[in-house]
Chains A and B, each alone.
Chain A
Amino acid sequence: MTTANQSAIERYRNNFLREVEANVEEGHMVKMCMQCGVCAGSCPFGPDWEHSPQKIFMMIRAGKRDEVLGSDSMFMCTSCYNCMVRCPRQLPITHIMHGLANYAHRLGLAPKGQPTREFATLFWNNAIKKGRVNELTLTLRHYFRGGLVSGIKEALGMQSIGLGLFLAKRLNPMEIFGGHGVKDLKGFHAIIAKAKEIEDRKKGFTA
């Protein structure tokens, strides 16, 4: 991952905007922002982020690569689409934010321990294994992300809900042993591998 980062730096030198345009989903629209600030004003999470979309776009143009890719802002987006609906320049802001999050994550620059990023990683790894999400292992892994003691505490806190799900036959304890997968698991893995190969090529992650 670090090598990908270094080669990206090497390739785009000071032109971070061009790097974003080439590698980030809908990144070519960043230059169309006219800095009106409607997105920043529309965001329900506005005060809780490090940078508003308006600022992120300005930082991209100003070439602040480390600050942008290290920002937690893109991970804080709840995909409410308020900004995107209101943007007078019709920038797909939500898509750009997710694109940036993905790019930062893949370069290994996204903030460590950022809860959204951690959970997303957990989710992806879980889903990719059997082609479907194993809810039991996903939740347990999530509970125990901070260690044994806090994991037990969190799990006990949720035990009545777990029991309810079990009685309603919505939770099968046997799933803890690997669980069931999609029909053609091999085929599924092949699809994912191919998709990754295409995306890596498109976004410049092939060595």
Chain B
Amino acid sequence: MADNKYAAYICSGCGIGDAMKVPQLEAIAKKEGKMAVVKSHPFLCNAEGVQMIRDDIANEAVTHVCIGACSRRAKTEAFQFEGVAMSRANLREGVLWVVAAGKDHDEVRQEMAADYIRMGCAELKKMTPPAGNVKGSSSKRILVVGGGMSGMTAALEIAATGYEAVLVEKAGALGGMAAQLWKRQPFKEPYAEAQETGVGEMAAKVAANPKIKLHLNSTIAETSGAPGRFKIQIAQESGSVSEETVGAIVQATGFTTYDMAKLPELGGGQPNVVDQVGLEALAVAAKGGAIKRADGKEVKSVVFVQCAGQRDETGTHLSYCSGHCCGTSIKQANYFKDQNPDIDTVVMYQDLRVPGMGEDFYRGAQEKGVIFTKAKASKVTGGDSCNVTFKDLILDEENTIAADLVVLATGQVPNAGVDLEAWNPVVTAAEGGDAAAKAARDEMKTISILNLNYRQGPDMPQFKHGFADSHFICFPYETRRTGIYAAGPVRRPMDILQATDDATGAALKAIQAVENAAVGRAAHPRSGDLSFPTARLEGCTQCKRCTVECPFGAIDEDEKRFPVFNEERCRRCGTCMGACPVRVISFENYSCDTVGSQVKAVEVPDEDEEKPRILVLACENDAYPALDMAGMARITHSAFVRVIPVRCLGSVNTIWITDALNAGYDGVMMMGCKKGDDYQCHFVKGSELAHYRMSKIGDTLTQLGLEPERVQTQEVAITDNARVVKLINDYVAELEKLGPSPMKGFG
């Protein structure tokens, strides 16, 4: 500590100096904040102001810097000092712009600014500059699992950027599902005719590329490690096992078609009823000639039944749309029409969906005379002449049509491995010694793809309907397993064109991941963060909360049930820190102490001053920006709140709440992202966990003689700038009605 030198710099620009007494703030930083150096500047973020700080760091050996100026989200490039710990007191967006103007508010405004300076100084003292977590050699090779269109694209793109790829394919040849196709949907201008798949050329390119190491007939027996140091055991069909070290993984394991046998009412399993892959096989066999059925008869009439076992509302079949099947049926109807325009081709659809440039392809098929009937097929009988019973949705009547062949568009089922939600209870039971559960666990594991040795289960978490994880809304390729990216139809239903785009994106994310891992930087969304969690294990009670609650599976357990952090897997959200009941987990620049000391640094007025104090813990991803934007829009709110940004509501440790209430705060409000199925939490579960944890502290509050209303949790979106202000003002009004906290004066 002897070498640490603390400095505070207060900006009086942007009107801060006019509305607040900067000399008083300087005095507080000096006296209460105990800063060795305190300076103010009329324009801190300009070259001269920044140079002043740089000079102090260089000449005065300043190691810790508190900037009292704008929000931590502003001027980040100007205020960037390598190797120096920094806190930001938000005087502009947080005080100047949100507290009403005018003399009447001078007092509360000044108090607010003074508190933010106290908080900034207090936080600073508990920080150390993050050193990063470099563990020496880090692999920059990338494993691609699956050799279909997505996997081959990913491998080629990785190789094209100069990185090495290791491609593992279960089958004896590359190509996957695309290799079974006669042609693919148009993917180039003018998007009118089906095109060659190009699988053969692509496979040859992959095989010939010196930067791609190919393992055919292989599966992954085990994946261990973390980004930069994954160890992959690759099991050959022959039984031999080899090991590869890679830095990141792209999982492109594709899909299988929904099993027709589950659709007996639509003729699944009967002669002359095929699925789309079945028809591709007939088309490949025909080689552009007349398409013949399995019994050798030339097909003269064909009916395509769309949404077979898809978009099912009864809960029996797939509930989603696979996206590609309308286009695929159009393509297949053209196989017939191109060969012989007199073949009757009927596509029975409920809603024809041709994403991308498919509309021209649809029109083209109509011009060729493919009949599109808006109808729902209810029954198909197979046989020499198949009969399709359907309800015409335009004419509102039941009807039947005969055809030589019926094609069912059955949709995509992802090959995403083990469903962790089903897995975890089974494992818990198995660990408890249940023999049946042990057998069930071993059975479940046979479908695992990655065979991760993570505590949290052998595969990626699944997102919806069994598809592999992805942050669907904002960050398509990100998953909850750092350094492992899903690409192609394993992630969501898609066609070949989308899959190749997807694979390219995932390949780039994987490259980013290996580069980040090499220097110990965090991946999205705290990209570039060098801090990482450490645990004081002598205080740990082996409660396992951190390992269970980590949304990213970053923490394993050793034999004694102590947490083992895999820093490269960590996303730095701090959920472990919020979970820890004994507060032994911390980051260098973010810990129970950095926030706790801020909570305690605020000067809480006495009861008779009638100035309530409300602590707002705001998520830095959405709520804090929303508050900043309220400031930018000059929407004013009560000056009784003190806002502390947190990495995620999941990182909120209940000790902060306790500390605040003990110190005499009148209320604590937490602002996090939307939770639930349509969550907006950047760390997936943080907001949900916070809500859950806070639901438990009501009893504790009552025991303390406090009203449960004194702790509130709110869901806020980044666009809610007007709403956050209303939430704050309403809460202040509510607390004023409730009266001052009975804890005041005991702190």
Contacts and interface: CB of A to CB of B under 8 A. Distances in A.
B2 interface: no
A41 B89 CA distance: 60
A95 B395 CA distance: 22
Contacts of A17: 369, 371
Contact of B395 (A31, A34, A59): A59
A58 B367 contact: no
Interface string A47-76: 000000011001101101000000000000
A148 interface: no
B349 to A, nearest CB: 9
Contact of A62 (B352, B367, B373): B373
Interface string B360-380: 001100110101111000000
A32 interface: yes
Contact of A32 (B363, B374, B392): B363
Contacts of A89: 363
Contact of A55 (B366, B371, B394, B399): B394
A121 interface: no
Contacts of B369: 17, 31
Contact of A34 (B367, B371, B372, B399): B372
A58 B349 CA distance: 13
A32 B371 contact: no
Contacts of B374: 35, 58
Nearest to B365: A31
Interface size class of A (residues with CB under 8 A): 10 to 19
A58 B395 CA distance: 8
B366 A62 contact: no
Residue among A17, A61, A89 with most chain B CB within 10 A: A61
Contacts of A59: 395
Interface in A1-40: 17, 31-32, 34-35
Given A17-B371, A35-B374, A58 B394 contact: yes
A32 B399 CA distance: 22
B367 A54 contact: no
Contact of A54 (B366, B371, B394): B394
B367 A31 contact: yes
Interface in B395-429: 395, 399
Contacts of B394: 35, 54-55, 58
A97 to B, nearest CB: 17
B373 A61 contact: yes
A35 B394 CA distance: 8
Given A55-B395, A59-B395, A34 B352 contact: yes
B371 to A, nearest CB: 5
B326 to A, nearest CB: 12
B392 A31 contact: no
A60 B441 CA distance: 58
A126 to B, nearest CB: 38
A72 B352 CA distance: 30
Nearest to A35: B374
A34 B364 CA distance: 12
A58 B375 CA distance: 11
A58 B348 CA distance: 12
Contacts of B392: 58, 62
A174 B193 CA distance: 68
B363 A62 contact: no
A34 B366 CA distance: 9
A32 B367 CA distance: 7
Interface string A162-180: 0000000000000000000
A32 B395 contact: no
Nearest to A17: B371
A32 B368 CA distance: 10
Interface in B320-372: 352, 362-363, 366-367, 369, 371-372
Contacts of A58: 373-374, 392, 394-395
A62 B390 CA distance: 12
A59 B395 CA distance: 8
B366 A31 contact: yes
Contacts of A35: 372, 374, 394
B366 A32 contact: yes
A27 to B, nearest CB: 13
B371 A61 contact: yes
B743 to A, nearest CB: 65
Contacts of B372: 34-35, 61
A5 B600 CA distance: 96
A54 B395 CA distance: 9
A32 B366 CA distance: 6
Nearest to A37: B394
Contacts of B352: 34
Nearest to B346: A61
A64 B373 CA distance: 13
Residue among B352, B363, B374, B399 with most chain A CB within 10 A: B374
A55 B374 CA distance: 11
A17 B363 CA distance: 17
A176 to B, nearest CB: 49
Interface in A88-121: 89
Give the top 8 A-B pairs by smallest Cβ distance, nearest first. Answer: A58-B394, A35-B374, A32-B366, A61-B371, A31-B366, A58-B395, A55-B394, A35-B394
16 contacts: A17-B369, A31-B367, A32-B366, A34-B352, A34-B362, A35-B374, A35-B394, A54-B394, A55-B395, A58-B374, A58-B392, A58-B395, A59-B395, A61-B373, A62-B373, A64-B395
Interface of A: 17, 31-32, 34-35, 54-55, 58-59, 61-62, 64, 89
